[in-house]
């Protein structure tokens, strides 16, 4: 399990991103991914609380925080099989009794194109 934090890009100056990354390593940063309008920060389950404290200390606004199960290895399936698995995942996610669905299927561009 991993802690995932999402921050607005404007909370951190893009020029300071490398410095911020170095600071957050002390709080358990595993990966920092800058996107267009947000920054995704990943930490271990054990460092989740420390990372939350770091954001509180720096008065950074966190848009979203959650614990996710992230696969250590992903699997690629033939397109037809992958489509069947994705249909099953969609059906499970639609069930009101299901909170979250985790899988290790690698979602390829080809699969995304075929699904839409």
Torsion 10-13-15-17 (CA) sign: negative
| pLDDT recorded at residue 91 | 94
34, 79, 28: which is closest to 53 by C-alpha?
28
Q: Which domains does the chain have, with CATH numbers?
A: 2-68 (3.30.70.980), 79-115 (no CATH)
| pLDDT recorded at residue 109 | 80
| pLDDT recorded at residue 14 | 66
Which ranges of the chain have pLDDT less than 70? 14-15, 116
| Residue bearing tokens 């397109």 | 79
User: Which spans in 1-108 are helix H?
Assistant: 17-25, 48-58, 79-94
| pLDDT recorded at residue 1 | 87
Considering the entire predicted model, what is its pTM?
Answer: 0.69
> pLDDT for 46-61, tens place per residue?
999 999 999 998 888 8
């Amino acid at each position: 399990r991993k802690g995932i934090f999402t921050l607005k890009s404007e909370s951190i100056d893009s020029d300071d991103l490398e410095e911020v990354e170095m600071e957050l390593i002390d709080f358990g940063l595993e990966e920092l991914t800058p996107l267009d309008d947000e920054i995704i920060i990943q930490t271990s389950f054990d460092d989740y609380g420390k990372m939350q404290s770091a954001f509180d200390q720096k008065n950074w606004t966190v848009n979203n925080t959650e614990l996710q199960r992230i696969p250590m290895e992903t699997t690629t399936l033939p397109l037809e099989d992958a489509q069947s698995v994705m249909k099953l995942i969609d059906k499970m996610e639609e069930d009101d009794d299901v909170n979250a669905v985790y899988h290790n299927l690698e979602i390829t561009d080809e699969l995304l194109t075929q699904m839409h």
